Amino acid sequence: MALQVAATSRVYVRGLPEGTTEKAISDYFGKFGGVANAYVEQTGGFVEFKDSSSAEKAAAAKDLALQGKPIEAKRSMPTVGAGLMPAQAFVEPSVPETALDVVVIRGACTGTAISMAAMIAQAKTTVLVIWDRASPVQETSVSGALEKRVYATLEEERPDQLVMGKAFEFFGSGSPKCALLHVQDDKICETKNMDKPFTDAEGTAKKIAGNHIETTNGCYAAAIYQPWVHAYRAVLFFLVPPAMLHDWPDDLGVSMTGTRRLVKADCLHWGAQGWSVGLQLTTDSAPMNARLAVASMSTIVNGDDDMKNKLSGKNVKLMMPPARGWCNVKASAAIQAPLGIKAN
């Protein structure tokens, strides 16, 4: 089951007529439930309801208008601050109404990836999932019945080949909207917690080797699914964990993880197809990450070729839209200065 973002009782409003008073928006939004507080500055503001269900109704309402002028209401998201970014008040990211047709998800089985799979499936998109998932529990009754095999060839790719075959079956013609998502493991082996990583050669080497596998897994994704990606002009996304904010991290072990550098190689980009985009997470909140990543994937895949060409080979930082940038209300204890979103 997908992780849920905690509900809030606030909506941000923009497009208010000049001279709108706090009493006016309180009275107007009172039809959705009891209003605890309201704030207006210029043409934006917020309404704090007494109950979160009232905020949900207000954000879902269509054709909102005040004094004959259309206005917008956007649900507030919980404040997030995990040491990776300043605490901010956020608004819910917009998701295009056009759902994707087929999404293949592979790689690590993380909380964000599980939430994304659920959200995409709920949008009536065909989702094919193949995850690397190690069981922490040693079941002797099962392990004793298994035969250990060592492959001399790339036999381990067979599950991916089967999934790609299924992806080919769903559409024989037309221009379906497709995406491939490769998920990097967010449990990264770091050497910063080791007492003497430079003298503990064996311990350091194990961490480097474990992280390097993440790079090879990304290469496998591009190589295996290349025929499908090019046939359906799909976008290849790499979900990059928060600890990988830089191409060459300071940590000795993490620096050998080349997912961001693999994105920049843009190995599948050929003409107007095969775009590669890194989705760089910036918070440890899996529900937030899932919403941002799904919204970004949908926007890019549904976008035109010009957008895809500009983003291909780049790592896009996923950040919540700040409330101030959305409705022009000034910074306060609850509303901090906005952060810019950029691709690098």
Structural domains present in the chain: 10-92+323-327 (3.30.70.330), 102-318 (3.40.50.720)
Taking only the tens place, the pLDDT of each residue in 137-155 is 555 565 566 666 665 665 5
Please state, in angstroms and rounded to a whole number, the distance separating the CA atoms of residues 163 and 165: 5
Q: In the chain, pLDDT over 70 holds for what percent of residues?
A: 76
- pLDDT value of residue 272: 82
pTM of the model: 0.73
- pLDDT value of residue 41: 79
Q: In the chain, pLDDT over 90 holds for what percent of residues?
A: 32
Cβ–Cβ < 8 Å for 16, 45: yes
Taking only the tens place, the pLDDT of each residue in 154-169 is 555 678 888 898 888 8
Q: Is 143 helix (H, G, I), strand (E, B) or coil?
A: helix
- pLDDT value of residue 156: 59
Per DSSP, the residues of 156-173 read: GGHHHHHHHHHHHHT-SS
Lowest mean pLDDT among 29-43, 147-161, 286-300, 309-323: 147-161
Q: Tell me: pLDDT of 80 over 70.
A: no
- pLDDT value of residue 166: 87
24: pLDDT confidence band, cut at 50, 70 and 90? Answer: very high
Please state, in angstroms and rounded to a whole number, the distance separating the CA atoms of residues 29 and 73: 10
- pLDDT value of residue 149: 63
Please state, in angstroms and rounded to a whole number, the distance separating the CA atoms of residues 282 and 316: 10
330: pLDDT confidence band, cut at 50, 70 and 90? Answer: very low
Taking only the tens place, the pLDDT of each residue in 51-65 is 888 988 998 888 899
Q: How high is the mean pLDDT of the chain?
A: 80
